[in-house]
């Protein structure tokens, strides 16, 4: 299952994402945790120190590798440069499984040990002032969108994404990739209007989202997972 945490800045997205990831890990579920926020704090919330968090490989800086692997031998994608974040998988494309080793995880994921087992953590990478132009910013989150487009999650496997603050989470098609989206709100008079506006943005595209979720589930196969002891070697 692919799950997103969205909401206003400071509402508690990272805190809830990390608690949910810890809960899943404690139940023994395989988890890919993704930090797709401009403020990269998921690593720290999962217990990494500053140095470890700073050393996480940035997906945004490894787009050519990600694209090249995912396009595989798909004859309709002539080169990695021709691939954009919404390019769907087709004949010859490579799909990713939650529990496998592949060059994308090798380059972009790191194991984080939690009570109950390890999860794979992937991060878009720090956003700089220069990244905050539309093209650059979305090229970083585009790496996550490509990953989700090609990720086949089996029963009881999870991808949990800590999204960026506010309605920017809905500024690209990425929100249509999720089976479940948690809208986090402060229980205050200031917090509730932001929920109303986010919900109306989300509802406008609900039919797309439902279609996408159905299609996503239809693609799901029951990928069996290696044992937890094997997964801790990520």
Ligand X SMILES: Nc1ncnc2c1ncn2[C@@H]1O[C@H](COP(=O)(O)OP(=O)(O)OP(=O)(O)O)[C@@H](O)[C@H]1O
Please select the residue that binds ligand X; options are 15, 52, 102, 167, rule is CB under 6 A.
Answer: 15
| CB closer to ligand X out of 68 and 131 | 131
Contact 8, 95 (CB under 8 A): no
- Per-residue interface string for the shown chain with Mg ion, residues 77-96, x marking contact by CB under 5 A: --------------------
Q: Identify residues 30-49 at the interface with ligand X (CB under 6 A).
A: 37, 39, 41
- In Å, what is the CA distance from 71 to each residue of 38, 58, 93, 163? 27, 20, 5, 25
**Residue 13, interface with ligand X (CB under 6 A)?**
yes
Which residues contact residue 229 at a Cβ distance below 8 angstroms, ignoring those fewer than 6 apart? none
Please select the residue that binds ligand X; options are 4, 9, 53, 205, rule is CB under 6 A.
Answer: 9
**Residue 19, interface with ligand X (CB under 6 A)?**
no
Contact 149, 88 (CB under 8 A): yes
Lookup: tokens for 186: 């402060």
10 binds, among ligand X, Mg ion, none (CB under 5 to 8 A by kind): ligand X
Lookup: tokens for 25: 């890990």
**Residue 14, interface with Mg ion (CB under 5 A)?**
yes
Residue that is written with structure tokens 């194991």 in the block: 111
**Smallest distance from ligand X to CB 41, Å:** 6
**Helices assigned H by DSSP within the chain:** 13-26, 42-45, 50-54, 63-71, 103-108, 134-149, 191-204, 206-219, 228-231
| CB closer to ligand X out of 20 and 158 | 20
| CB closer to ligand X out of 41 and 138 | 41
Which residues contact residue 81 at a Cβ distance below 8 angstroms, ignoring those fewer than 6 apart? none
Contact 147, 66 (CB under 8 A): yes
**Residue 126, interface with ligand X (CB under 6 A)?**
no
Choose the stretch contacting ligand X; rule: CB under 6 A; options: 9-17, 58-66, 69-77, 200-208. Answer: 9-17
| CB closer to ligand X out of 48 and 65 | 48
Residues contributing to the site for ligand X (CB under 6 A): 7, 9-15, 37, 39, 41, 165
């Amino acid at each position: 299952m692919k799950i997103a945490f969205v909401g206003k800045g400071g509402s508690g997205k990272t805190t809830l994402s990390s608690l949910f990831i810890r809960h899943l890990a404690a139940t023994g579920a395989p988890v890919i945790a993704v930090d797709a926020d401009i403020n990269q704090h998921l690593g720290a919330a999962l217990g990494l120190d500053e140095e470890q968090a700073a050393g996480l490989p940035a997906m945004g800086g490894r787009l050519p590798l990600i694209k090249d692997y995912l396009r595989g031998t798909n004859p309709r994608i002539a080169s990695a440069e021709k691939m954009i974040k919404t390019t769907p998988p087709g004949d010859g494309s490579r799909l990713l499984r939650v529990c496998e080793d592949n060059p994308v995880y090798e380059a972009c994921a790191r194991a984080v040990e939690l009570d109950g087992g390890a999860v794979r953590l992937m991060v878009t990478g720090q956003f700089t002032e220069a990244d905050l132009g539309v093209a650059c910013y979305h090229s970083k989150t585009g790496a996550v969108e490509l990953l989700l487009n090609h990720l086949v999650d089996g029963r009881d496997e999870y991808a949990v994404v800590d999204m960026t603050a506010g309605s920017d989470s809905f500024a690209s098609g990425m929100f249509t990739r999720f089976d479940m989206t948690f809208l986090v709100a402060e229980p205050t008079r200031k917090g509730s209007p932001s929920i109303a506006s986010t919900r109306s943005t989300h509802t406008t595209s609900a039919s797309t989202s439902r279609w996408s979720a159905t299609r996503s589930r239809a693609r799901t196969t029951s990928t069996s997972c290696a044992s937890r002891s094997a997964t801790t070697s990520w």
